């Protein structure tokens, strides 16, 4: 599956957005407008203007809808959720070559809110996976105490953890210790 630079950026953005949601400890990584502004700047969201409480509320709302896409059990469910996100954003595809990037497609309308910008661009990035029959690559970490979202871009669709150096390694070490303990005794 060919993934263009702008699609990859949108995938990184949607994964990071979903992973800002409060999980086990209840801490929201988007607690206020300043955090949303940092998030937008870190992800090079263009043309979003000055962010407000309204933007924060709207982004949190779509964050939950994107989380549902990652939890979808089948392509039809994922497609329905993505269609709703993209339609609500008022998708308006257009070619652009701003900020030193080559030609690429923006799916949000000029002057769109941050939430509509994210919903349109990220929704379309996820739509490409559903169209390609690759919806199962939109995953949650299999570590029991993690559940972070990620996109499995491995060749053989075998990635199980959000980060093999943390979650994957921790579970492999625990399994190794359990085997050694059982063998010893």
pLDDT digits (tens, 9 = 90+) for 35-75: 999 999 999 888 888 999 999 999 999 999 999 999 999 99
C-alpha distances in angstroms, 168 versus 17, 18, 40, 143?
Answer: 22, 20, 29, 7
Quote the pTM value: 0.87
Tell me what the pLDDT averaged over the chain comes to: 89
SS3 at position 143: coil
| Residue pointed to by tokens 């998030």 | 39
pLDDT at 104 (0 to 100):
84
Cβ-count burial 49-79 (b if 16+ within 10 Å, e if not): eebeeebbebbbebbebbbbbbbbeebeebb
Beta strands 138-140 and 149-151, pairing class: antiparallel
CA distance 70 to 34: 26
In the chain, pLDDT over 70 holds for what percent of residues? 91
In terms of pLDDT, which residue wins out, 80 or 108?
80
pLDDT category of residue 183 using cuts at 50, 70 and 90? confident
Does the pLDDT at position 176 exceed 70? no
pLDDT at 175 (0 to 100):
63
pLDDT at 172 (0 to 100):
63
Whether the CB-CB separation of 149 and 139 falls below 8 Å is answered with yes
Does the pLDDT at position 161 exceed 90? no
SS3 at position 15: helix
Does the pLDDT at position 25 exceed 80? no
- Return the half-sphere exposure (C-beta side, CA atoms, 13 A cut-off) of residue 145: 6
């Amino acid at each position: 599956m060919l993934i263009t630079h702008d699609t990859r950026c949108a995938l990184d953005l949607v994964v990071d957005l979903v992973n800002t949601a409060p999980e086990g400890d209840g801490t929201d990584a988007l607690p206020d407008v300043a955090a949303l502004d940092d998030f937008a700047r870190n992800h090079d969201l263009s043309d979003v203007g000055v962010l407000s409480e309204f933007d924060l509320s709207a982004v949190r709302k779509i964050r939950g809808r994107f989380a549902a896409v990652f939890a979808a059990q089948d392509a039809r469910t994922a497609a329905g959720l993505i269609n709703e996100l993209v339609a609500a954003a008022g998708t308006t595809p257009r070619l652009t070559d701003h900020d030193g990037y080559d030609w690429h497609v923006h799916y949000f309308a000029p002057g769109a809110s941050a939430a509509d910008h994210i919903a349109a661009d990220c929704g379309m990035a996820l739509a490409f996976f559903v169209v390609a029959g690759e919806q199962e690559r939109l995953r949650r970490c299999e570590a029991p105490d993690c559940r972070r979202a990620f996109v499995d871009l491995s060749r053989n669709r075998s990635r199980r953890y959000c980060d093999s150096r943390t979650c994957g390694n921790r579970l492999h070490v625990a399994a190794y210790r359990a085997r050694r303990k059982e063998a010893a005794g």
